[in-house]
Each structure stands twice: as C-alpha cells, then as structure tokens.
Chains A and B, each alone.
Chain A
Amino acid sequence: QVQLVQSGAEVKRPGASVTISCVTSGFTFTNHYLHWVRQAHGQGPEWVGRIHPSGGHTYYAGTFRGRVTVTRDTSTSTVHMELRSLTSEDTAIYYCATQINRWGSCGGDCYPLDHWGQGTPVTVSS
C-alpha cells in the first residue's frame, strides 16, 4: 500500500535551517508529484511547494521562494525539504503529500492530495 513516512520532530533556533525527509513506497515514485504542506497550530494548511521526481522540477509558493528547497533521491524514493532562515512563524507541522489516484480533471500538479505523511513537527524557539 501507499506509504509516506516522514522524519522525526525537530527543534531549531531562529536563523537556523531544517531538513525534513519523506520516504515513499507502494507506488512508482517518478510518476507522481510530491508536495509539502505545513500547518501551524490552530491554523489552516498552507501549501509550501512541490517536486516532480522524474525530472526534479520544482515549484514553490511565493511566500517561501528563496528560502525553501525541495529535492529528491530516486534511488531511495525519498523527498527532502530544506527551509532556511527559520523564525518562530515557521513553527508548524510539515506534511508531505501526493496525488496517487489523480482524482478529477485539474491535471498536472493540481490534482487533490489523497495520500499524506504522518507529519513532522518543527519548533523554532530561542
């Protein structure tokens, strides 16, 4: 079955960087976009960015552009997200997610997200 297993909780100081991993299995890694979504406590989700593992092409939300990098390792079916220059506002749960069933007609990277990782809490505090 499809699984997305994320790395464990992180605690960082302001100004530091964090890298979160998402190990996938149960589907053809290079056929599906992998997205990163974060959710601060008590807030709605916020889309961060995505990668297509086949060619490594990325696209990021404007809010994060220049501060986030998403990469993939096709040999281990793993996606990584690095977020730099952390502030307390980056404290959130970070999820990786994908679009296995490609529900609907949106196409490309905008199919709805139907499989999610368990989430990685990131705390930024001095």
Chain B
Amino acid sequence: QSALTQAASVTGSPGQSIIISCNGTNNDVGAYNFVSWYQQHPGRAPRLIIYDVNSRPSGVSSRFSGSKSGNTASLAISGLQAEDEAEYYCSSFARSGTPSVFGTGTQVTVL
C-alpha cells in the first residue's frame, strides 16, 4: 500500500487561508469517506484534527476544515496563526484492509 501524496510545503501569512491537498487512489481516498488529518509539531506525536473527511473532534478549532473530491482530499486552515506552523498528514482507510494509510506530509510555515 503506497503512501498518499502531499505537497512538501505550504507557506502563508498570519490571518491568511491555506489549503493542503492529499492525493490518493480509488483504493483509498476515492473509495471511502474515511479520511483523517493529523497535525504534528516537532518532537510530538500526531494529533487528530479532522476525521471522516470533514468532521472535527471536540476541542479542535473551527479554523480547520476538510473536504474531498474524487481521489483528492483537502485540509483548509483559515485565519492562519503562528501556532498552526507544523507538519500535517492525511490518512485514509484502504481497500486492502489497512486501517490507516498515511500521507507524505506537508510542512506549513507561517511567515
């Protein structure tokens, strides 16, 4: 099972909105609405911020939102803040039965 593909980096200024894309196949992202997104700060474990494409766990800011079209999932961050600077990973259930196929990661930099 190959990793999902993400752009290596995205940069934005405070207050701006950015979008991170996650490209999969019709065996994972395209086949199921079970896409999750994780935020990871350096030296820390990943933190769940989106599940089932566009739902947020309690306690996660509404500035984070998710969507999906075909084999591509997206994470949008609005009102960018310094604390949003982190690595972001998508994840999907896969037809092979693997519960979590992860993306290659996108580093978000807040200028």
Given contacts A45-B89, A62-B1, contact A116 B98 (CB under 8 A): no
B67 adjacent to chain A (CB < 8 Å): no
Residues B97 and A116 in contact, CB atoms below 8 Å apart:
no
Residues A45 and B48 in contact, CB atoms below 8 Å apart:
no
Q: How far is the CB of A78 from chain B (nearest CB, A)?
A: 18
Q: How far is the CB of B46 from chain A (nearest CB, A)?
A: 6
Query: Considering the chains assembled together, what is the distance between the CA atoms of A62 and B95 in angstroms?
Result: 13
Residues A112 and B45 in contact, CB atoms below 8 Å apart:
no
Contacting residue for A116 out of B46, B55, B93, CB 8 A: B46
Interface of B is mostly: loop
Per the CB 8 Å criterion, the residue count for chain B at the interface is 28
Residues A59 and B55 in contact, CB atoms below 8 Å apart:
no
Residues B52 and A104 in contact, CB atoms below 8 Å apart:
yes
Report the tally of A-B residue pairs with Cβ distances under 8 A: 76
Query: Considering the chains assembled together, what is the distance between the CA atoms of A89 and B39 in angstroms?
Result: 24
Given contacts A103-B52, A112-B36, A116-B46, contact A44 B57 (CB under 8 A): no
Residues B100 and A114 in contact, CB atoms below 8 Å apart:
no
A interface bracket (residues with beta carbon within 8 Å of B): 20 to 34
Residues A103 and B55 in contact, CB atoms below 8 Å apart:
yes
Whose C-beta in chain B lies nearest to the C-beta of A110? B99
Residues A110 and B100 in contact, CB atoms below 8 Å apart:
yes
Whose C-beta in chain A lies nearest to the C-beta of B49? A112
B3 adjacent to chain A (CB < 8 Å): yes
Residues A118 and B51 in contact, CB atoms below 8 Å apart:
no
A positions within 8 Å CB-CB of B: 35, 37, 43-47, 50, 59, 61-62, 95, 97, 101, 103-106, 108-114, 116-119
B positions within 8 Å CB-CB of A: 1, 3, 6, 32, 34, 36, 38, 45-48, 51-52, 55, 57, 89, 91, 93, 96-105
